[in-house]
Amino acid sequence: MKQVPILILILAISTLGAARDKKAKARPGPYVFTSKASAQTLKVLIVQANLREGYTLDSDNQLQFRFSKPEQMPVVDAIFTASNMCKGMTTKKVWSYTLAELNGITKVIVQPVWEYPDDYCKTETQELIWSQRDEIAAFQAMLDKAPTSTAQKPTLNPASVSPAVAPASTP
C-alpha cells in the first residue's frame, strides 16, 4: 500500500523534470536577422545603437564591424579567468556584426562573445548567450523600422564613430 504513493511521487517528479528539460533554452550565437533595409542603412543604425550603449568601435571593415566594452563576466563564467593578474588586459563584452545584402534583403549576423585574459595573459573568448528575449525583439524591431528607400537613410556623424569615444550597449 505504501508503494503506490511513492510510485506516484516518483512519476510526478520525473514528469516535472522532463517538462523542465523541454523548456526552450537560449542558444549561443551567431544570431541571424533579416531586413529589407540596405546594409549601409542598417550599419548606421547598429553603430549608433552600440555607441549609445557605451561600446567602443574596435574595428570597421565595410560590412564587418566589432564593438566592445569592459564588463564583468557572470560569476559562473568567470571562474577560470585571470583578468586581475594581467596588466592592461580586461574582460570585455564583444559584439561582432556581419552584414550581407542579396536580392533586396540584408542578412545581419550577430556574434556576441566574452573576451578575457587566460592564465598566460593571452586573449581567450567564450560564447556569450544572448538570452534577453526583449533585447533580441528590440534589435529585430530596429531592423524592421529601418528606412528602405535611399532618400530616408540615416546619416552617420563621423565624430560619433571614433573608436576613442563610445558608450555602452547591448544590441
The domain of 32 spans 27-161
Residue 18 lies in a domain: no
Measured in whole angstroms, the distance separating CA 25 from the mean position of its chain's CA atoms is: 16
> 65 and 97 in contact (C-beta within 8 Å)?
yes
- Mean pLDDT for 103-121 is 93
How many independent structural domains does the chain possess?
1
Q: What is the signed CA dihedral for 105, 47, 50, 72, rounded to 10 degrees?
A: 100
Q: Is the dihedral of CA 99, 100, 101, 106 positive or negative?
A: negative
Residue 3 lies in a domain: no
Q: Is residue 136 packed enough to be buried (19+ CB in 10 Å), middle (13-18) or exposed (0-12)?
A: middle
Q: How confident is the model at residue 169 (pLDDT cuts 50, 70, 90)?
A: very low
For residue 10, what is its C-alpha cell? 516518483
DSSP H or E segment with residue 140 = helix 133-145
Distance set, CA 121 to CA 86, 115, 116 (Å): 6, 12, 9
Give the pLDDT of residue 137. 95
Distance CA 107, CA 149 (A): 17
Residue 107 lies in a domain: yes
| Confidence (pTM) | 0.70
Residue 59 lies in a domain: yes
Q: How confident is the model at residue 119 (pLDDT cuts 50, 70, 90)?
A: confident
Distance CA 101, CA 113 (A): 24
Residue 113 lies in a domain: yes
The CATH number for 58's domain is: 3.30.310.80
Residue 82 lies in a domain: yes
> 150 and 53 in contact (C-beta within 8 Å)?
no
Residue 46 has pLDDT above 50, yes or no: yes
* Model pLDDT for residues 49-108, shown as the tens digit of each residue: 999 999 999 999 999 999 999 998 876 555 555 556 788 888 999 999 999 999 999 999
